[in-house]
Chain A
Amino acid sequence: MTQPLLRVENLQTHFATRAGTVKAVNGVSFDLRRGEILGLVGESGSGKSVTGQSILGLVDLPGRIVGGRVLFDGEDLVTAGEKRLRAIRGRRIAMIFQDPMMTLNPVLSVETQMVEAVLAHDKVGRAEARRRSRDALGRVGIASPDERLAAYPHQFSGGMRQRVAIAIALLHSPDLILADEPTTALDVTIQAQILFEVQTLCRETGTALLWVTHDLAVVSALADRVAVMYAGRIVETGPIADVIQAPRHPYTRGLLDSVPSRNRRGVPLRSIPGMAPSALDLPQGCAFQPRCGRADAACSVMPDLAPDAHAWRCWHPHDADAQGAAA
């Protein structure tokens, strides 16, 4: 098999805080092939964003990658210098954040920002750069893109700003897009339009996509594979249909069971008891123990994640044929 576009190996990113060391990412490994869409899901605080930031070397202090490798096209980005990373960001790897103002500069017009983004990496004339910018705006559903180019970010609604940020990410047909909850704040019809653009880009240009979200529904419709994170670790991963049809890890199963549309209308939802543990106070062994109905003495030792296509980190997984959902 050919080498994956992105291979994350045993990534560990820790934050040294006054209260102790937060192991935000604690041994995360996954592969992403060209044209593939991987959904990274989990509750807030599970380490999804820090995983994405670590890939690009954008972890905030006091965070530090303390172990593992991030192989992008064979090159380790963990040991690459800042100059090298800057060349890769924007051109070969684009990032879309939940807050579009992470990408947009408030004091420059949209046209200036987009044209500069084109010129920074491509040897084309200004007119061509402007044409590409306008087309990119049109593709994310911004009406009258010609007039809108002249506007400044604050003149757009939140949803439109996010679409501008996404248009900038699409400008270069990058090899890889890291998207961190970019449609969480958007309306469903706008979200559908953006998912359509992203999906089209991946299919047509072979762009790979890492889509970070807590929304299982979006992942189920969009992704080829999914990785479920809990307390800094991947607890289950596999082809999306396999994981949704037969979740093996009790946490994945609990998440799917909590989705209202998978419950009979009007009856109490099946829910996971308790709440996510504090990152500073994880139990010994499997972090899901305090909330897990299957926990026993074996669970005080951390289970491994097998290197299989569909894998789970659990001593007492659910059966493959036991369908959880009623609907």
Chain B
Amino acid sequence: MTQPILAVSGLSKRFERKLDVVERFARRLGAAVDDSVLHAVSGVDLTVAEGEVVGLVGESGCGKSTLGRMVAGLLTPSDGAIHWRGTDLRDLPPAGRHEANLKIQMVFQDPMASLNPRLRVADIIGEAPVVHRLVPRRNAAEAVAEMMRTVGLDPGYMRRYPHQFSGGQRQRIGIARALAVKPDFLVCDESVAALDVSIQAQIINLFMRLREELRLTYLFISHDLGVVQHISDRTAIMYLGRIVELAPTPELFAAPNHPYAKALLDEAPRVTLEKRRFAPIRGEIPSPLNPPAGCPFHPRCPHAMPRCSQERPDLREVAPGRWSACHLNDAF
């Protein structure tokens, strides 16, 4: 295999935090609420090939954004390594790390919250490439115009402010800003979640066109399984800070291996002709403050065995290219 553009190994992020009233109370009642360490991401291994789109799905709080922000250099990992084109970022001098970080840009969910309302579009898009000396200041307007055309915005609007645009147009501005520093890799964190269906389709098409035109690689974070199924080559499913299944997208959606992946795919609403009987799911998503011992999914898993509450299953290759973290895959 050729060298992956990105490889993370053993990547973890812990946050220190204070217990709130309910948790202190629960601990007084004898609940095993751990000290105040929140395990947002725990020991994630993932490689991404150049030009690939890897989808990352999972429920709120499972650590998708935290993983994405570490990859984009916006958060420092607590443990583990990030290799960019084969080089461990920790081994690079600050200048080299800075350069690598510019190559990985992030596109956020809420275009309004991530754009400075007091800046004109020309400055929002043009600032970073000028500061990083990718574009001389006198050519900034030209570069901005080109970026705007790339994402389907009329350059005639470059003197306007973000509030003068619709949600879909603002998301195009956010994408143009990320592209302005000529990245190779985009981390898209719920980048179409806030958009209406008809506009969402336009932005997804834009991402797909940019992938071809600019040879981009994506880590595409979304809670929308239909979106991920449509655009990603491989899909990773996260649960409580860990990847529990990773596989080529068509195979994963056709036949998920991990019981959590199955539950998630079953519950995902789809446009159907049949009326659905919704089924209640057992249990709640456990807190990352106090992850269950053994397999993190065992309190909700219909297949849990005694072993599952004691021993954590590793993410293993269960078939060529298919990875799953479940004891059911051990030979009987």
Contact = CB atoms under 8 A, between A and B. Distances in A.
A308 B279 CA distance: 34
Interface stretch (A21-29, A124-132, A210-218): A210-218
Chain A contact residues, majority secondary structure: helix
Given A187-B223, A260-B229, A275-B199, A196 B279 contact: yes
Contacts of B301: none
Given A189-B267, A259-B271, A266 B231 contact: yes
Interface stretch (B20-28, B70-78, B89-97): B20-28
Contact of B204 (A143, A240, A260): A260
Given A188-B268, A189-B264, A44 B279 contact: no
B271 A216 contact: yes
Contact of B226 (A155, A159, A259): A259
A142 to B, nearest CB: 8
B281 A192 contact: yes
Most buried by B among A157, A256, A260, A268: A260
Contact of A214 (B196, B204, B250, B272): B196
B271 A151 contact: no
Contact of B198 (A191, A193, A240, A258): A258
A143 B26 CA distance: 13
B13 to A, nearest CB: 19
Contacts of A244: 271-273
A195 B205 contact: no
Contacts of A189: 59, 263-264, 267, 281, 285
Contacts of B269: 188, 191-192, 215, 217-218, 220-221
A187 B60 CA distance: 6
B63 to A, nearest CB: 14
A218 B26 CA distance: 36
B201 A265 contact: no
Contacts of A271: 198, 201-202, 205
A147 interface: yes
A196 to B, nearest CB: 4
B283 A143 contact: yes
Interface string B198-212: 111110110011000
B332 to A, nearest CB: 29
Nearest to B272: A220
A155 B198 contact: no
Contacts of B208: 266, 268
B197 interface: yes
A179 to B, nearest CB: 14
Interface residues of B, number: 54
B227 interface: yes
A199 interface: yes
A254 interface: yes
Given A143-B283, A188-B268, A214-B196, A245 B201 contact: no
B271 A195 contact: no
Contact of A155 (B21, B168, B202, B272): B21
B59 A155 contact: no
A188 B264 contact: yes
B145 to A, nearest CB: 22
Contacts of B60: 159, 186-187
A258 B283 CA distance: 34
A9 to B, nearest CB: 28
Contacts of B61: 157
A241 interface: yes
A151 B224 CA distance: 32
A222 interface: yes
Contacts of B9: none
A92 interface: no
Contact of A270 (B167, B201, B284): B201
Contacts of A155: 20-22
Interface in B10-54: 20-22, 25-26, 29
A265 B271 contact: no
B326 to A, nearest CB: 18
A141 B273 contact: no
A244 B167 CA distance: 27
Contacts of A220: 269-273
Nearest to B29: A147
Contact of B271 (A44, A256, A268): A256
A66 to B, nearest CB: 27
Given A43-B196, A187-B60, A260 B273 contact: no
A261 B227 CA distance: 8
A268 B267 contact: no
A253 to B, nearest CB: 11
A43 B198 contact: yes
B270 A269 contact: no
A186 to B, nearest CB: 8
A112 interface: no
A44 B267 contact: no
Interface in A176-231: 186-193, 195-197, 199, 214-218, 220-222
9 contacts: A187-B60, A196-B278, A258-B197, A260-B226, A263-B230, A266-B230, A268-B209, A271-B205, A276-B196
Interface of B: 20-22, 25-26, 29, 59-61, 166-169, 196-202, 204-205, 208-209, 223-227, 229-231, 249-250, 263-264, 267-281, 283-285
Interface of A: 43-44, 141-143, 147, 151, 155, 157, 159, 186-193, 195-197, 199, 214-218, 220-222, 240-241, 244-245, 254-256, 258-263, 265-266, 268-272, 275-276
